[in-house]
Amino acid sequence: MQRVVVSGLGAITPIGDCVADFFSGLLSGASGIVDFREHPEMGGYRLKDGQIPLAGLLPSEAANERFPDDLRRRYDPQTLTVLATAIEALTDAGFDQADRKVAILVGSAVGLRPSIPRMKKSFPAYAQFSSDLLPEPHYYNKNFLDEFATSTVIQAITRECVQCSMAFPFSSLCVSGGNAIILGYELIKAGVVDAALAIGFDFFHPRQNQVFSHFRLLDDAPIKPFDASRTGYQLGESVGAVLLESADTAGKRPYAEIVGVGASCDGYHLVIPDPSGKPQSQAMTTALAEAQLMPNELDAIATIGRGSKVGDQAEGRAIARLLGNSGASVPMNSLVPNIGYTLGASSMMNFIALMMEIRQGILFPTLNVEKSDTRLGKFDLVQGHAKPVNLRSALALGSAFFGSNTAIAVRAPNTQGDAL
């Protein structure tokens, strides 16, 4: 069995277009939530009744400027954004592929989703329709599908930076990023590949926002994770990439070692998580059992904490099930107030932030929390200011529609006196 380490990170988020900026934004309490009606890529979208107009959006054209004209002509802006994070992760790791086998795991809740102005520009015939209507079949051609297929991202990465041995484009909805890391871990551990590039992404679309508004998951009040007065959240968009390598072949000093993973599915309801938190807790228990860690040995938990009534209830109870009475001694935080709930990228961004926390020995604060909801359990939610902590082992969580959950247990590289 191979040991698996995290050697490179890449991120583009509403609060920073690289990992360093993203993390300094988290430490300083920056928020990327804006009124999306003013965003140039919304193409004059008219808000529906009850729709919340706020979202965490990426800086316009953030990644495209990094690429030469020929790549900008070849790929759409969203593919280039994902490619930019992949390149950042590989560069960060100083990755030299040589003859090593690599897996590319690209997870996204809904895949690529071209902005309305791009659709109108690329497919002029589409322009006569409002964004609500289904275009007639004769407006489709093969380029139309390229704009939507996640495999376009894989082709871009395969062509531009990694000659991969295998590639899996997939969706596990909002735990896509976490599952990309889990699958990469399993493939390296079993010796199938030597390295894995795990990517989680999702882009904002106003129709997606409408769906979430319809389910009354969104609210225009600030996101308050695990707060007694939480009312809902706003969506966001982000892209995150993580390079995992076998400990034997990893080049530079890694961020952390992945020591255990757990994935579970509630099997409860299409939208509502199991309020008992039992299946979510099962994912955490599985990860800790594999890591041979006791819950009270954790130094931090990177929660999702999206600020929804039912979501936080399930997650809070799951954590309370895991930690029991020691809950108040394990610090936790949530980055959703900073960048919005980023769907398929959420568990990936959680993980990336945790890697930076381990590297810098500091936990970022959770914004907007006024009074922690004690009905969920006793928690030590990092608030107000960043908190310096020596992180030796920690857990990164993820949870999604249809009840998918992930938990990834990590260990700081120098905690057992080994060569990592």
Residue ranges in contact with another protein by CB under 8 A: 104, 107, 109-111, 113, 131-135, 137-138, 140-142, 144-146, 148-152, 154-155, 158-159, 163-173, 179, 182-183, 186-187, 189-190, 192, 207, 210-211, 214-215, 263-271, 279, 282, 286, 401-404
Judging by DSSP bridges, how do beta strands 380-381 and 331-333 pair with one another? parallel
In this structure, is the dihedral angle defined by the CA atoms of residues 355, 358, 361 and 367, taken in order, positive or negative? positive
Judging by DSSP bridges, how do beta strands 256-265 and 300-302 pair with one another? unpaired
- Closer to another protein by Cβ: residue 183 or 223: 183
What is the side-by-side order of every strand in the sheet holding 238-246? 102-108, 195-202, 238-246, 4-12, 256-265, 404-411, 393-399, 300-302, 331-333, 380-381
- Closer to another protein by Cβ: residue 50 or 251: 50
C-alpha 112/C-alpha 145 separation (Å) is 10
* Residue with tokens 């299946």, as numbered in its chain: 279
Burial label for 135, CB within 10 Å (0-12, 13-18, 19+), is middle
What tokens were used for 310?
Answer: 């039912």
Minimum Å gap between C-beta 17 and another protein is 25
- Closer to another protein by Cβ: residue 11 or 103: 103
- Closer to another protein by Cβ: residue 145 or 228: 145
- Closer to another protein by Cβ: residue 155 or 231: 155
Minimum Å gap between C-beta 78 and another protein is 12
- Closer to another protein by Cβ: residue 96 or 138: 138
* Residue with tokens 């934004």, as numbered in its chain: 25
Minimum Å gap between C-beta 359 and another protein is 28
Minimum Å gap between C-beta 132 and another protein is 7
C-alpha 245/C-alpha 243 separation (Å) is 7
Minimum Å gap between C-beta 130 and another protein is 10
Minimum Å gap between C-beta 239 and another protein is 17
